[in-house]
Amino acid sequence: MQIITSAESLAPVVSNARQHGKSVSFVPTMGALHDGHMSLVRIAHEQSDFVVVSIFVNPLQFGANEDFEEYPRTLQEDAEKLSAANVDVLFAPDVKDVYPHGNQITQHAGSVGETFEGKIRPGHFDGMLTVVARLFDLVRPDISVFGNKDAQQLFLIRQMVENSNHRWNAMQVVGAPIIREEDGLAMSSRNRYLSETERELAQRISRALRAAEATQGDAEARLTAAEQVMATAPAVRLDYVALINPATFEPIEAGFVGRALLIIAAQVGGTRLIDNLSISI
Ligand code: PAF
């Protein structure tokens, strides 16, 4: 595995792979890699010949009171995991390579970027899309792979690519299934912030999703079932639980039939956790 830290060294390596007829896939991450990330790498390998993974903790997607400084940075450990997974290139750029003209927002997430996660974390999605667009420009992959756990992020990335007038040619955006701990907790780099007690409490989130799935009835009955599970642990502060239409990322309307996405976010101690489940309505 090659470790590349500058934008200008990346381009010839990727071009060389292409000249050898290889298709290129890309897995953008912020590091602190867990099995969820490694599942994205496996999907990238299945769908392409040459796999690039980036590790960059993007300052633009953190709010002023968020955990940018504390965000786990475990580059050495991450590099070992990626090398063992036969990744071709680890791209770990410096902030100056990613933002040579300073930290400027160049992408706007629009109205969907202001709901749910975007309402609680203003500006987060503009910062996230800005870095993803920049990384796509640098890597120019055929395929990019993102986890379904960050459902709103994935929706907005797909929307950006669709509206980009083929800026990244025919790049395909692949969503990967959520990988869970044995107790159901969705894997996240932020899970490492949880104490043992918080970790136990955090299970309520996936249990709430399962309770809603198992409930017969309309959207309201499903949401009530989820809220009831969350209410059994008042220390877990529910930010939102909603049933959204995956095609619009807006709450489903009365009479909706089909697969809806049940999304949830909660605060456990100082840690915000998100999760989701696709359910039939
Ligand atoms: O999901 C993440 O880890 C980040 O939001 C991403 C897509 C790597 C952009 O910084």
Q: What is the pLDDT of residue 35?
A: 98
Tokens of 144: 């990019």
Sheet holding 236-245, edge to edge: 250-251, 236-245, 259-268, 271-280
Cross-strand pairs, 240: 265
Q: How many CB atoms lie within 10 A of CB 70?
A: 10
Sequence letter at residue 269: G
Q: What is the pLDDT of residue 98?
A: 97
Averaged pLDDT for residues 147-170 = 98
Please give the Cα distance from 215 to 36 (Å, whole number): 28
Give percent of the chain above pLDDT 90.
99
Confidence of residue 236 (pLDDT cuts 50, 70, 90): very high
Model-wide pTM > 0.85: yes
Helix boundaries (H) for 90-165: 95-98, 117-120, 124-139, 151-162
Specify whether 37 is catalytic: yes
How long a stretch of residues is the chain? 281
Cross-strand pairs, 180: 186
Q: What is the pLDDT of residue 84?
A: 98
Averaged pLDDT for residues 176-184 = 97
Q: What is the pLDDT of residue 138?
A: 97
Q: What is the pLDDT of residue 62?
A: 97
Give percent of the chain above pLDDT 70.
100
Q: What is the pLDDT of residue 60?
A: 98
Question: Which structural domains are found in the chain, ordered by start?
Answer: 2-176 (3.40.50.620), 189-274 (3.30.1300.10)
Q: Which atom of ligand 1 is nearest to the CA of 30?
A: 3
Query: What is the Å distance from ligand 1's center to 128 Cα?
Result: 7
Query: What is the Å distance from ligand 1's center to 30 Cα?
Result: 6
Confidence of residue 71 (pLDDT cuts 50, 70, 90): very high
Averaged pLDDT for residues 210-217 = 96
Query: What is the Å distance from ligand 1's center to 255 Cα?
Result: 35
Q: Which residues line ligand 1 (CB under 6 A)?
A: 28-30, 58, 61, 128, 131-132, 150, 153
Three-state DSSP at 166 gives coil
Q: What is the pLDDT of residue 148?
A: 98
Q: Are 79 and 90 in contact (CB under 8 A)?
A: yes
